Structure 1
Amino acid sequence: MSKAWSGRFSQPTDKLVEAFTESISFDARLAEVDIRGSKAHAQMLSETGLISADESKSIAAALDSIGEMIRKGEMKFSSELEDIHLHIESELIRRLGDVGRKLHTGRSRNDQVSTDLKLYTRDAIDHIDQLLEAVQKAFVGRGDADLDIIVPGYTHLQRAQPVAAPHYWLAYVEKFQRDRERLADCRKRVNLSPLGAAALAGSSLPINRHRTAELLGFSAPAANSLDVSSDRDYLVEFTSTLALVAAHLSTWAEEWILWNTTEFGFLRLPDAFTTGSSIMPQKKNPDVLELIRGKSSRVIGAAQTLLVLIKGLPMAYNRDLQDDKRAMFDAYDTIVACLEVAPQIIAGAELRRDVIASRIDDGFLDATALMEYLIKRGVPMRTGHEVVGKLVAECEQRKCRLKDLTLAEIRSLVPATAAPLIDESVSSVLGSANAAAALVSYGSGSRERVKEQLAEWKKRLA
C-alpha cells in the first residue's frame, strides 16, 4: 500500500526516514483501542449518512477480524506503515477496497491517536485503581494480627513515640487512597473525547462528535479542536500521579528494607520474595523491595520526560508528540509490575515480636507522654518539655529508663508549685506500652484509635 499522503510527493520515503519515524515497535499495543475508536467512528458516519449502514457493518466486522488477527500475532508489522493506525487501515483497505478507504472520513491521525491514548489511559487508570485497592487490602488484612504489637515511630530516623504496628500499615493505606483519588480526578479530564477534532480545525462534514463520545463512554467531546491536536496534559497528569504512587511505594520499600536488616531486626520477609548471594551463603536479600525503590526513578522520569517534551511546542500537532507513548507506557508498566508483587510481600512478611519487644523501651519513647502528663497537671508545656529533657539526660547518665526513676526523683526536677500534683499515677504513662495507650486524639497511634481506623477501612474496602 502506498503512503497515506503519497499524492503530494514525487520521491519515495527514504528507508532511513522510515526507520527513524516508525512507532509500530511500541504503539502496537494500541490496536484494541484503535479498533474500538474506529468502530464508533464508522457507526457515527453511518448515522449521519456519510457512509451506508451496510458499509458501516462491513467495516466493523472487518475491524473485529483484524483485531483477532493481531491478538493471535498473525499481522506482520512493517516500519513502512509507521504505526498501528496505518497498519489497521491498510489491512482494512486490502480487505474492503474503497469501503475501507471511507473509514477515515472526518478524522485525522491527530485526533485518532489522541482518542486511542485517552481510551488506553482511561483503562490504565481503572486497572491501577484495582491494584492499589489490593495493596490497601493487604495492609488492612494484617492489621488485627499485629494490633497488640507496639513499635517505635521515627522522625529523622530517631526513635520518637510508640505506636501500634498497624498505625504504620494504615499510614500507607491513607497514602494510596490519596493516589486513588488523584487518579479518579485525572480520569475526569481524560474522559473527554478528541475524536472528530480532525487535524486541528474540525471538519466541514456533518459529523456528530457527541455521538462518538457517547459510543466510546466519554462524558463529552473536547470543546476546542485546536487544543485537542496539541493536548497531552492528561498524560502529564497521569504520569505525575503515577510518580506519586511510585514515591509512596519507594517509601514503603525503603522502610521495610531497613526493618529487615540485622540492625533493626523488626521484620522477616517471605523467602519467595527475596534472593540470595552468589558468594555469601548466609545472605537473604530484599531485592524485590530494592527494585521497587529503584524503579520509582523511571516513573518519576517519565513525568519529567513528558513535561520537557511539551514545553517548547507551538500549538497543534507536532511530530515530537509521537514519543509521548514511550514514557507513558513505561510508567504504566513499571507501576503495574510493582503493584502486582506488593500485596504478597505485605501479607507474607512477619513482624519479629521478640526482637521488637526486647528493645521497645529503648530511646525514651515515653518522654512525650510524660511531658503531656505534666501539662495535664498544670505545668506549662515549655516547662514540661525542659523538665523531661533533664530527666532524659539524667537517665542517660545512669544508663536507665524513665520508668526506672522513682516518684521522688521525678518530683525533684519539677517546679515546686507543680511537684505536689504529681503522684503515683505518673507510672501510667511510663514505658512504651503505657505511652502508646495514653494516645487519645483522633487518628493517633494507640491500640484503641488504630482499632477504630481498621474497622473503618474494612468497611470502605469491602
Structure 2
Amino acid sequence: MKKLWGSRFTQETEKRALSFTSSLSFDKRLYRYDILGSIAHVRMLASCGIISEGDGEVIVAALEEVEKEMFHDQFSYLESDEDIHTAIERGVVEKVGSEIGGKLHTARSRNDQVALDLRMYLKDEQAKIMAFLGELIEVVLSLAHHNLDLLFPGYTHLQRAQPVLLSHHFMAYGEMLRRDYERLEINFEHTDHMPLGSGALAGVSYPVDREMLARELKFSRITRNSMDAVSDRDFALEFLSNASILMVHLSRLAEEMILWSTSEFGFIELSDRYATGSSMMPQKKNPDIWELVRGKVGRVIGNLGSLLVVLKGLPLSYNRDLQEDKELVFDTADTVKEILPLVGDVLRSTKINQDRIAASTSRGFLTATDMADYLVKKGVPFRKAHHIVGKVVLYCSQNSLTFEELGMDIYKQFDRHFDQDIYEVVSLSKSIASKNIVGGTARQQVAYQIEETTRWVEEKKEDLRKLRERCYFV
C-alpha cells in the first residue's frame, strides 16, 4: 500500500528513516480506541451525507474484521505501516478496495485522530488507576481502624517528637491518597474533550457533526479550538504530574516501611511472601518490594520531565515531536497500575510489632512540648517555658530518668510552678487525648477521620461507577 502522503514525493523513504519515524511498535496498543473512533467517524460521515450509508456500512464491517484480527493476533503488520492508524486503514482498504476504503479518512487528519486515541486511552487508564487507589485507601483505613488506640512516636527530622496514635499516622497517607484520587478525577474531565473535526489544524470544510461524534464516543464536550486540539497535550502532562505526585506519596510510605522493618526500628515485620533474601548472607530479610516502589518513582518523574521538555519549544500546531508522548504515558500508566495493588497486598500482610512500638514510645521525652504548655498555662512566657523544659530534658538525659521518674523536689528546682499535676500532663495517653481538635491525634478525632474517609470511599465508588460509563474498555 502506498503511503498516505506519498504522492507528493518522487523518492522512496530511506529504510532507516522509515524505522526511525515509525511509532507502530508502541502505539499498537491503541488499536481498539482507533477503530472505535473510526467507526464513530464513518457513521457520522454517513449520517451527514458526506459518504453513502452503504459505503459506511461496508467500511464499518471491515473495521470490525480488522479489530477481530488484531485482538486474536492474526493481523499482519507491514514494515511500511508507520503507525497503528496507517495499519488499520491499510487493513480496511485490503478488504473492501481503495474506492470505498479510501473514504475512511474523509474529513479527518491523523493529527486529530492521534489526539482522540490518546484521550480515549487515558480516560480508561485513569478510571482503572482510580479504582486501584480506592482499594488502597480501604487498606489504609483497615490498618488505621485496627490500630486505633496504639500509641506511636511521631517524628520530625527523623527524631522522636510527640506522641501520636499509629492510626493517625496511617490516616496521613489516607489524606495523601485522597488528594491523588481527586486530582485524577479533575484530569479525567480535562481529558474528556473530543478533538475529531479539528482536521490537521484548521478544522474541516465538510458539514461534520462534532456533537454526534462526542455522543457516540462518550465525550462530555468538544474541543473549542482546532489548533489547540491537535497540539494540546496538557491532559497527558497533567496525568504524568498526578502520577508523579502519587508515586512520591508511595515512595514516602515505602521509605517508612523500609525504616520500620529494620532491626533498629523493628516496628513492623514483613511477610515472607513479600520479602527476599540475600545470596550471601543467610540472615537477611530484605524489603525489595518497597525498595522497588521507591525506585520506580524516578522513571515516572522522568517521564513527566521528558514530556515537559518535548513540549516546551513547540510552535503551533502539530509537530512530529508529539509522537514521543505515548511511550511516556504508557510506561507511567503501566507502572502505577502494577504498583498500587501490590502495595495494598504488602500492607495487608505486614505485622505490626506493638510491643516494640510501645517500648520506643516510652523513650525520647515525647511530652516535652506538653510540659512547656503546662508552664505557659500557669503564666510562664512560652520562650521561658521552652528554656526550662530544655533544662529538665538535659537533667533527665544525664541521669537516665524519664519525666515520670523525676521527683517533685527536682521539678521545683527548675521552676516553682511545677506541681503534682505535672505527672498527668507528661502522660503519653493524656498528651494524645489533649489534642482533641479537628485534625488532631486524639482518639475521637482519628475515629472521625476514619469514619469520614470511609463515607468518602463509598461515595467515590458510586461516582466511579458513573464515570466508567464514559469509558470504553474498563
The SS at the match of 2:163 is strand
Match of 1:6 in 2: 6
Return the alpha-carbon distance in structure 1 between the equivalents of residues 309 and 146 of structure 2: 47
Partner of 1:101: 102
Q: Is the 8 A contact 2:435 2:441 kept in 1?
A: yes
**1:282-314, Cα deviation, whole Å (9 max, x unpaired):** 111100000000000000001100000011111
Corresponding position: 1:452 with 2:448 = yes
Letter in 1 for 2:443: R
CA displacement at 1:162 relative to structure 2? 1.0
What is the deviation of 1:195?
Answer: 0.8
1:434 matched to 2:435? The reply is no
Is the 8 Å Cα contact of residues 302 and 327 (structure 1) preserved in structure 2?
yes
Report the Cα offset of residue 41 of structure 1: 0.8
Report the Cα distance in structure 2 between the residues aligned to 1:220 and 1:354, rounded to whole angstroms: 57
Aligned letter for 1:163?
V
Q: In structure 2, how many angstroms separate the alpha carbons of the residues matched to 1:172 and 1:107?
A: 46
| Alignment of structure 1 residues 393-408 onto 2, 5 Å | 393-408=394-409
Q: Which moved more, 1:107-116 or 1:61-70?
A: 61-70
**Distance in 1 of aligned mates of 2:229 and 2:106:** 18
Task: Provide the secondary structure at the position in 1 that maps to 2:362.
Answer: coil
Find the aligned partners of 2:243 and 2:314 in 1 and give their Cα distance.
Answer: 24
Equivalence for 1:313:
314
Give 1:31's aligned amino acid.
Y
Aligned length, in residue pairs: 457
Q: 1:330: which partner in 2?
A: 331
What SS class does the counterpart of residue 265 from structure 2 fall into? coil
CA separation of 1:59 and 1:378: change in aligned 2, threshold 3 A: farther
Shift of 1:383: 2.3
In structure 2, give the amino acid aligned to 1:455.
E
Shift of 1:461: 1.5
Residue 66 (structure 1) shift? 1.6
1:433 Cα offset (Å):
3.0
Match of 2:273 in 1: 272
Aligned to 2:86: 86
* Contact 2:149–2:167, Cα closer than 8 Å, also in 1: no
**Pairwise mapping of residues 35-74 of structure 1 onto structure 2 (< 5 A)?**
35-74=35-74
> Matched residue of 1:239: which SS?
helix
Distance in 2 (CA, whole Å) between partners of 1:77 and 1:387 is 79
Q: Is the 8 A contact 2:270 2:351 kept in 1?
A: yes
Match of 1:133 in 2: 134
Which deviations, in whole Å up to 9, do the C-alpha atoms of 1:76-130 show, x marking residues without a partner? 2233111111111110111122222111110100000000001111111111111
| Counterpart Cα distance in 1 of 2:377 and 2:52 | 82
Secondary structure, aligned partner of 1:73: coil
Q: Is the 8 A contact 1:367 1:388 kept in 2?
A: yes
Aligned AA for 1:367?
A
**2:222 aligned residue:** 221
1:192-231 matches, within 5 Å, as 192-231=193-232
Worse-superposed segment, 197-206 or 139-148: 139-148
Structure 1 alignment gaps of length 5 or more: none
1:409 CA drift (Å): 2.4
CA drift of 1:60 comes to 2.4
Query: C-alpha separation between the residues in 1 aligned to 2:85 and 2:256?
Result: 45
Q: What are the within-5 Å matches in structure 2 for residues 144-183 of structure 1?
A: 144-183=145-184
| CA shift for structure 1 position 51 | 1.5
Partner AA of 2:83 in structure 1: D
2:362 matched residue in structure 1: 361
Comparing 151-160 with 363-372, greater Cα deviation is found at 363-372
Q: 1:408 to 1:440 in 2, by over 3 A?
A: farther
Partner of 2:439: 443
Which 10-residue stretch deviates more, 423-432 or 129-138? Answer: 423-432
Q: Deviations over 1:127-185 (max 9, x none)?
A: 11111111100000122221121111111101101111111111111001111111111
- Given candidates 419, 422, 426, the residue that maps to 1:423 is 419
Question: Any gaps of 5 or more consecutive residues in structure 2?
Answer: 459-474
Contact 2:153 2:360 in 1 (8 A): no
Alpha-carbon contact 1:369-1:438 (below 8 Å) kept: no
Q: 1:293-308 maps to which residues of 2 (within 5 A)?
A: 293-308=294-309
2-side partners of 1:347 and 1:439: how far apart? 29
CA deviation profile, 1:377-416 (whole Å, cap 9, x unmatched): 33332222222111111111111111211233223322x4
DSSP-derived class of the 2:80 partner: helix
Amino acid at match of 1:8: R
Cα distance in structure 2, aligned partners of 1:364 and 1:100 = 78
What RMSD over aligned residues (CA atoms) do the two structures have, in Å? 1.4
The aligned amino acid for 2:326 is K
Distance 1:369 1:64 in 2: 71
TM-score, with structure 2 as normaliser: 0.94
Cα distance in 2 for partners of 1:197, 1:376 equals: 68
Deviations 1:173-213 (A, max 9, x none): 10011111111111222111111101011111111112212
Cα deviation, residue 221, structure 1: 1.3
Letter in 1 for 2:192: N
Deviating runs (4+, > 4 A) in structure 1? none
> Counterpart amino acid of 1:437?
A
Q: Is the 8 A contact 1:365 1:435 kept in 2?
A: no
Give, as a single letter, the amino acid of the residue that structure 1 aligns with 2:14. Answer: D
Residue 111 of structure 1 is matched in structure 2 by 112
Distance 2:179 2:380 in 1: 39
| SS of residue paired to 1:161 | strand
Query: What letter matches 1:238 in structure 2?
Result: F
CA contact (8 A) 1:370 1:430 kept: yes
- Native 8 Å contact 2:276 2:288 kept in 1: yes
Q: Which moved more, 1:64-73 or 1:17-26?
A: 64-73
The residue type paired with residue 155 of structure 1 is T
Letter in 1 for 2:318: Y
Taking structure 1 as the reference length, the TM-score comes to 0.96
Q: 2: distance between equivalents of 1:11 and 1:243?
A: 44
